[in-house]
């Protein structure tokens, strides 16, 4: 078992990883850049070390060696899917808590990974790379070496394909340093279903069921849940078997995710494999009773999986909402500032993974995700009700945020009925609209001086916009 782990990340995921490592009695070292010098994740570890960039793998390696760490956990984002960092760890005999370099390299290439999955018998969306031989339209142009919606273009007309590929190639080069793009069949109104996988160094692999990730903005997930309301036991068995086959085909070691598109007819297609922990991993933990970070550490330490597929069970239903500092009504414009009030919800079945608190500075330097609100209940309907109550109780003032926006999404009839897909927000424009009338509660709260909230028991900012956009007036 490793003695000390350098956590090469920031924010809520760095804190979440630190919690498990401390429970395992493993020392932790956090890293931070100058804008993060007062961030909460620097206080969650045994020590905190200044670096110049979260993306400099050589500096991360030097810092790990200097502090005596014998392992590195990359979290997600930044260098989590960097084959260079994984290879550097192997060379320095430092444990990389993640897959082998060749696995990351292969699965990070969207074209190569799809070819490999085809050989493994996994259904794959038809693709064309190089000079596409008259693909069937509509199609998606996608970046070969990255994701997150960058370098992606929807093309309905064949005459637009050449321009779309050139534009996507430029964006991919700027975002990933790789200008390669390919063309993929566009699946209309798909669901985004992913399977959590775990593999060890002894040729064993299992899946830990699916997550429904179809509610997205700008091709990025904002609400996730498990089980999926669309996946039957029979379909779950088929998709789970395909996910495990994909893991075995690449000799997967660690925790990862196999992502699928599920079309309205029930056919599913491999989309990509994420060779890291996912942002939405808590919903799996809440229902399956596993600590996925602990499993990552055990596997990286050379342990064999302590269970097989038949041993894994899932109980109840879990939903996660990503809390962002942004203005959904203004094309998701990021918001910056100081968090003046941060009062998260509490109660049975509620979990909050957060990287901020009262007084935290939200800057333009990093992704605007502030926290993840996760609930568990015995059924999907009960989980939705619990999430509504939790969002109602969440008071976050000082920066504009999407809490009320999330509340409106899960309050729609289609969400309640499980009628969701990746185009949900495009069809439900009403969730972007605030009520036209200003409730008297908002006017009252906004009129209070900033250093006190007479009768409310909490200080509030003296700006109408913060009070109104936060939606917290409903529970003040």
User: Which residues are marked as active site?
Assistant: 276
Given a contact cutoff of 8 angstroms between Cβ atoms, the answer to whether 226 and 211 are in contact is: yes
Mean pLDDT over 113-121 rounds to 95
Q: Cα-flanking dihedrals φ and ψ of residue 104, to 5°?
A: -60, -40
The CA distance from 107 to 147, in Å, is: 12
Rg value, the chain, Cα: 22
Residue 319 has pLDDT above 90, yes or no: yes
150 pLDDT band, cuts 50/70/90, is confident
Chain-centroid distance of CA 189 in Å reads: 21
Name 142's bridge partners. 182
> What does DSSP say about strands 27-32 and 4-7: parallel, antiparallel, or unpaired?
parallel
User: Quick one: pLDDT at residue 426?
Assistant: 96
The CA distance from 36 to 30, in Å, is: 11
Residue 344 has pLDDT above 60, yes or no: yes
The CA distance from 34 to 52, in Å, is: 7
Assign residue 130 a region: left if phi > 0, alpha if psi is -120 to 50, beta otherwise? left
For the entire predicted model, the pTM comes to: 0.91
Name 197's bridge partners. 207, 256
User: Quick one: pLDDT at residue 464?
Assistant: 62
Q: Length of the chain, please?
A: 476
Secondary structure element (H or E) that encloses residue 320, with its range: strand 317-324
User: Quick one: pLDDT at residue 17?
Assistant: 98
User: Quick one: pLDDT at residue 463?
Assistant: 59
- Non-local (6+) Cβ contacts of 40 within 8 A are 15, 354, 355, 356, 357, 360
Q: At what angle do helices 292-300 and 281-288 cross, to 10 degrees?
A: 100
The CA distance from 129 to 112, in Å, is: 10
DSSP per-residue string spanning 283-301: HHHHHH---HHHHHHHHHT
455 pLDDT band, cuts 50/70/90, is very low
User: Quick one: pLDDT at residue 176?
Assistant: 87
Q: Which of 66-75, 135-144, 431-440 shows the lowest per-residue confidence on average (mean pLDDT)?
A: 431-440
The CA distance from 262 to 211, in Å, is: 12
User: Quick one: pLDDT at residue 443?
Assistant: 65
Residue 465 has pLDDT above 70, yes or no: no
The CA distance from 466 to 461, in Å, is: 7
Q: Cα-flanking dihedrals φ and ψ of residue 133, to 5°?
A: -85, 80
User: Per residue in 359-402, pLDDT tens?
Assistant: 999 999 999 999 999 999 999 999 999 999 999 999 999 999 99
Torsion of CA 109, 78, 258, 245, to 10 degrees: 60
Given a contact cutoff of 8 angstroms between Cβ atoms, the answer to whether 234 and 282 are in contact is: no
């Amino acid at each position: 078992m490793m003695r000390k782990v350098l956590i090469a990340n920031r924010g809520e995921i760095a804190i979440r990883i630190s919690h498990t490592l401390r429970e395992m009695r493993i020392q932790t070292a956090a890293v931070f850049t100058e804008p993060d010098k007062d961030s909460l994740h620097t206080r969650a570890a045994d020590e905190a070390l200044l670096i110049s960039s979260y993306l400099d793998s050589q500096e991360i390696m030097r810092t790990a060696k200097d502090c005596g760490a014998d392992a590195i956990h990359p979290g997600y984002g930044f260098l989590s899917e960097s084959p260079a960092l994984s290879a550097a760890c192997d060379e320095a005999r430092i444990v990389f808590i993640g897959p082998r370099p060749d696995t990351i390299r292969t699965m990070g290439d969207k074209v190569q990974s799809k070819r490999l999955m085809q050989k493994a018998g996994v259904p794959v969306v038809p693709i064309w790379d190089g000079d596409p031989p008259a693909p069937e339209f509509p199609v998606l142009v996608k970046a070969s070496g990255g994701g997150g919606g960058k370098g992606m273009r929807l093309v309905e007309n064949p005459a637009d394909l050449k321009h779309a590929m050139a534009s996507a190639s430029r964006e991919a080069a700027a975002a990933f340093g790789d200008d390669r793009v390919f063309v993929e069949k566009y699946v209309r109104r798909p669901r985004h279903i992913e399977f959590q996988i775990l593999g060890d160094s002894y040729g064993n692999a299992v899946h830990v069921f699916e997550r429904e990730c179809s509610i997205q903005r700008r091709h990025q997930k904002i609400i996730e849940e498990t089980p999926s309301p669309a996946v039957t036991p029979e379909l779950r068995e088929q998709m789970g078997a395909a996910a495990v086959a994909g893991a075995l085909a690449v000799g997967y070691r660690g925790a990862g995710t196999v992502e699928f598109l599920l079309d309205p007819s029930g056919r599913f297609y491999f989309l990509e494999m994420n060779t890291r922990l996912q942002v939405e991993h808590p919903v799996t933990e809440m229902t399956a009773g596993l600590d996925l970070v602990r499993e990552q550490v055990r596997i990286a330490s050379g342990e064999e999986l302590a269970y097989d597929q038949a041993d894994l069970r899932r109980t109840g239903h879990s939903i996660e909402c990503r809390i962002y500092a942004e203005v959904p009504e203004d094309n998701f414009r990021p918001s910056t500032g100081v968090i003046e009030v941060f009062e998260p919800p509490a109660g049975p079945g509620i979990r909050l993974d957060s990287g901020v608190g009262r007084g935290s500075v939200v800057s333009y330097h990093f992704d605007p995700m502030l926290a993840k609100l996760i609930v568990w209940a015995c059924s999907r309907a009960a989980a939705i009700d619990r999430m509504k109550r939790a969002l109602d109780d969440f008071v976050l003032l000082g920066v504009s945020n999407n809490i009320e926006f999330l509340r409106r999404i899960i309050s729609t009839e289609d969400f309640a009925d499980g009628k969701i897909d990746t185009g949900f927000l495009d069809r439900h424009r009403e969730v972007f609209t605030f009520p036209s009338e200003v409730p008297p509660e908002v006017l009252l709260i906004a009129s209070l001086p900033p250093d006190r909230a007479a009768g409310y028991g909490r200080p509030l900012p003296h700006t109408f916009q913060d009070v109104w956009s936060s939606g917290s007036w409903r529970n003040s």
